[in-house]
A and B are shown apart, each in its own frame.
Chain A
Amino acid sequence: MARKRTIMIFLRDVRGALLISLWFMFLTFPIMVIKVNPIERTVVWRWDNMAYVGLLSFLLYLAGRQYLKYRERRLESSRRQSMEEKTKRFLRRLSENPVPAYTLMAVAGVFALSFPFVFSTYQTNIMITALMYVVLGLGLNIVVGVAGLLDLGYVAFYAVGAYSYALLNLHFGVGFWFALPIGALLGMTFGILLGFPVLRLRGDYLAIVTLGFGEIIRLILENWNEFSKGPSGISNIPRPGLFGLEMPLETAITYLYFLMIGLVLFTVFVVRRLQDSRIGRAWYALREDEIACQAMGIDKTRTKLTAFALGATWAGMAGVIFAAKTTFINPASFTFLESAIILCIVVLGGMGSIVGVILAALILILLPEYLRAFSDYRMLVFGAVLVLMMVFRPQGLIGHRRRTYTIKPDAGRSGNAA
């Protein structure tokens, strides 16, 4: 009886796989099968490709189904409770015996510090970009990951920061170090200005409005020639200086690299402290249940606005650094795709997890760079990785964890344990 059932289920999977492979063959027909030769004006039909696509999707689907079933069975057998128990025990062990954690951190630290001296300028430049996305990811993480506000126009604040440095420098010769706080402040101002009317909206509407806002900023920058020089952008933006010191290009990039490392550390420091504070708890709670939050005396709009403005502040800062790094900016750098990538970093990393966001930013930015060798397929691989991640680990690389407190029986003092 049971045997008959397993066979039935398997047959159903095979049927599903057949349908899937047919569908894929149909979908990929135009690109995989038809090849037009424009010179000889002939069409080459590559039917063998169709067979490969069919076979591959058939097998992949079957394998995926089997894996999912296996996972389900395993989850059932070792119930959720015990899984949680296991992670908890592991975390306790880690906090009681912090040697592996410290070793890991030390290795990462040494690697980060020696990076520009070991690797080429080209590699360092890529790393700077990746670190920039780490900062952007951590900034958006406050908004989306912690406070649960879906912001699809994050790049707008990034643009505000970049253009504020570029324009201030162009017109008034303002230097990098002076522009950095101004860019941050302007980002925050724009965040508050947009957030104030918009944060009353619920989830999906907020996403649409922020998406629109991002596009508006980009279109303004593209079309208001007198203000922003339009699509041709602004060039010759100076790199960050050090007390007016002239630096050769290589040194300047190394300097910028360390500046980014500093900013990442600063960001991690701030975000960590925020998460573990009265306001951070309120953000988490808002994400969990808005109505209960209000009933507990939390000012919904104000708390959301704080998260939104803080995220925008970090985008503004990253924007200034971006302008200084590339020395040239134009509106094309601030398309919706940028917002989407930053959002991917947050979701992939695990909403609200700092380590997760850092890992995700490094993977998402470095992977496509180093996959350049496979030029044509790199975006395909990139997409596949994203899809697989969301199927098999929807909670992100590093799942959500809460701080635990140890209460001393006498005074009820607290200490950090996780």
Chain B
Amino acid sequence: MTRLYTMDKPDERNRLDAMAQGIIGRPLDRPDGSAKTTGVAPYAAEYVLADCAEGVLVLATISRGEVVEIESAPVLGMPGVLAVIADPRMITRSAQGGAGKSPVREIHKVDYYGQPVALVVAETFEQARDAATRLRIAYRADDPAKVPLEQDDSHAAHEAYGEPVEQGNLDVAMRDAAHAVDVTYTTEGHASAAMEPHASIADWDGNTLTAHSSLQMLKYNQKELADALGIKPEQVRLISPYVGGGFGSKLGISAELTAAAVAAIELGRPVRVVMSRQQVFQCVMRRSETRQRIRLAADGEGRLNGFGHEAWVSNLPGEKFAEPVTQASEFLYRGEHRRLRIDLARIHRMTAGSVRAPGEAVGMQCLEAAMDELALASGIDPVELRLRNIPEMHPSEGLPYSSRRLAECLKVGAERFGWDGSDRRPCQRREGEWWIGTGMATACRVHNLNEAQARVTLSTDGTAVVESDMTDIGTGTYAILGQIAGEMLGLPPEKVLVQLGDTRYPPGAGSGGSWGAASTGSAVFAACESIREQLAEQLGVDEADLTLKDGTAVAGNRRIPFTELVKADLTETGHFKNGGIDEKFAIAMYGAFFVEVGVNAYTGETRVRRMTGAFGLGRALNAKTATSQCLGGMVWGIGSALTEELVFDPRDGHLVNHDVAEYHVPVNADVPALDVVLVDERDPAGSPLQAKGVGELGICGAAGAIANAIHHACGVRVRSFPITPDKLLDQLPEL
């Protein structure tokens, strides 16, 4: 049986708080922790299949053109080499999140430097790797001088992306403002750089393609792979119980999966293809570089009446995605005169797609730095400035807000951090050769919901099983789905088994857009509500009068253990849908960052010394895993502020820093003990769980707080992220 739950109005019942088990929200250890810390949890590349061959991808070394000839013969003569494959079913770009159909797969046409053009398969990895490096490919390359490789290249085509917001007259508002800020910021490209490289093992039995693959959203990935191969989705089974990080890079299928699948079909044996770290950087996904013009027009009290946020981003021709830079700017602050727009340039770099918190990750950091400039210009405490600009209604659409704890986050965060916003003049504090400063920023991320299904079975032995093709990419899905089911069914967590990451289970929401927990969790909730009703009916009581705790049903003066009550397994599939709740309310997660940095007076090096994040993200389903997600986001904020930057060779679009040594993600020594506060919240419009998204909020604005702290420390306002020492050095004050 299926129980449908359509989210078309706020769920004010707040059922989870009325349950008796008392495990929802508790900071329980993850059930997958033991397998992960002892090394027994299997990731995609780690399954043992008999007679498995090994494939290595070969990437293009031109920016645009055609493959004229692949000189396979010499390579095929090498020991162990089985095949050189360049097949029209192989994809040459990664699928965008939620695509559900094959991305571009013109294997002989090259659209970017680093595009996959062939697969070499051999008996062993060493043989395949050697043969792949020796494979000679003849190209007809377009003149790189004529290929648009950068946004401002004169050959680049531009188009408007999405619906621009044009409201009132921003120019007049700027002219008449008591305090006005008109600034342009830039951010560079980012890589997800999940620690597990993209990996797939494909096996074809003549009818069904089974793949162990590292993926975030199986129900879409199944369709993407089937479409590429020209078979039916039912002929594809994907298995991904453990995923070594995704951050958007595994939302859609990538080239190694179709290459492995085609090779398995052609060779009649399983084939494993694992991308090298360099290949992941070059051919999966990048976050677009951005240029952002921000205009803020405020009255004498710092109240905004004009708000402009215009962004320039890029992507490959034919891609639908553009970094939605202005997403939170639509509703975060007041200002009746508004201008928001995104310009998309078509250039020949690898596919631009979702990297953790697409839009807000880079949009918020620039907006919040510009807000700091307004705070300085107006002499208002930056925290107070934000408090004064929280709108009553959505400034363009007139919608009410659902639960919004922004003001509380600003206050709680300021209190914990010990914020003093009274004197924001820079260069006030020095410790030896270090200038010390503090900064803050608002956090904001839109709340997304997605259709999801999950099956729950309450067994005669008094245990329950939750099944969905939902993934856990480090987010804590195993933990929170078990806690939801345990709370609703009155079972301790060890009595609930959660099984994920297999397309044989009902289609979950997938892990993306921070929607996984609220959406798939609500499917589990719906299934459990139905099971509760069936138990109540059996006992002849109202479901609301039924108490379930520790495997026992209590109704009136009767106490019956499930082992007696459940005569045959009760199985129910919960089906959750967004019924347009987001058209009735502006629903988002909010927070505030507070940071202290040291800037070295001689070298321009910035060190983050302290960082507090206060977040209102609806109900935290597990305080421990929710806190971890916030910590992770803040670490990304440090990277985005100080070090992360994809560097492309302007001559041919070649990604220069395509590994972890040259693309600098924060290491342990870059990160102080981070302080996270979860501000108590229930958002009835967020989901029937009163929960919202968690995984991305911690990055959205964090880098802005660091930029503001740098300015406060040493007086240098850098409008180009990342803020590397070279950008500070020539402007640092004399000691």
Do A and B originate from a single complex? Answer: no
What is the interface of chain B, defined by CB distance below 8 A to chain A? none
